[in-house]
Structure 1
Amino acid sequence: MKVSQKIRAIRKAEGLTQAKFCELVGIALGTLKNVEGDHREPGLQVVMQVVNTPQFGKYTLWLMTDKTAPQAGQIAPAIAHIGQESTESNHSEKQIG
C-alpha cells in the first residue's frame, strides 16, 4: 500500500472529513486532495505532520514500515472501522517481536 493510500486509510478509520483531517494535521486541503487522489505522494513534511499529530501517532510504525507493535501502542487502522471508538486492527500480522 502506498503512503498516500495509508494516509487516506488513517483519515477514514478515524471518521474524519478531509477538511477536519487537514485542520488537525495542519496541511492544506489541496495537498490532501492531491495525495488522496493519487496525483502525488506526500513529502516527508506531510508525513511528519501526520505522525506528530497526537491523534495519529499510534499509526506511525505502520505508516512508515508496514509493521505494528500493539504492545507499544502502534497499530494499523482498522480499514472497515468507522469513527474513533476502537483501536483494534486486523493488520497485525507483521508485528515486531
Structure 2
Amino acid sequence: MFDNEKLKLIRESERLKVKEVAKLVGLNYYSYHGYEAGKAKMSMDAGKKLFKHPRFRKYRDWFMFDEINPEIGQIAPILAHNGTEEKTQTKK
C-alpha cells in the first residue's frame, strides 16, 4: 500500500474531507490534496504536523511501519470507529 492510499484511509476512517484534514493540522489544502492524490510526497514536516495532532497520532505506527499495538493506542484506520457509531437520542 502506498502512502497516499494510507492517507486516504486515515481521512475516510475519521470521516473527514480533505479540506478538513488540512485545516486541522495546519497544512495547505492543495499540498495535502497532492499528498493524498499521489502527486506529491509528504515532507517530514507535513508528516510531523499530521501525526502530532491528537486525532491522527493513533495511526502513526501503522502509517510508518505497518504495525499496530492497540494496547498503547496504535491502530489501523479500519479499527478506528469499529462499533462506535454515534446515536442520536431524542428527548420526550
TM-score bracket relative to the smaller structure:
0.7 to 0.9
SS in 2 for 1:32: helix
1:57 counterpart residue number = 57
Q: 2:74 is aligned with what amino acid?
A: Q
- Deviating above 2 A after TM superposition, structure 1's stretches of 4 or more consecutive aligned residues are none
Question: Which whole-Å CA distance do the structure 2 matches of 1:69 and 1:37 have between them?
Answer: 28
Question: Which whole-Å CA distance do the structure 1 matches of 2:55 and 2:38 have between them?
Answer: 24
SS in 1 for 2:23: helix
Question: Which whole-Å CA distance do the structure 1 matches of 2:3 and 2:17 have between them?
Answer: 18
Q: 1:42 is aligned with what amino acid?
A: M
SS in 2 for 1:6: helix
When normalised by structure 1's length, the TM-score is 0.78
Q: Which has the larger radius of gyration?
A: 2
When normalised by structure 2's length, the TM-score is 0.82
- 1:46 deviates by 1.1
Identity fraction in percent: 28
Q: Aligned-residue CA RMSD in angstroms? A: 1.7
Length, aligned pairs only: 83
- 1:58 deviates by 0.6
- 1:87 deviates by 5.3
Mapping for residues 1-97 of structure 1, pairs under 5 Å: 1-78=1-78, 86=81
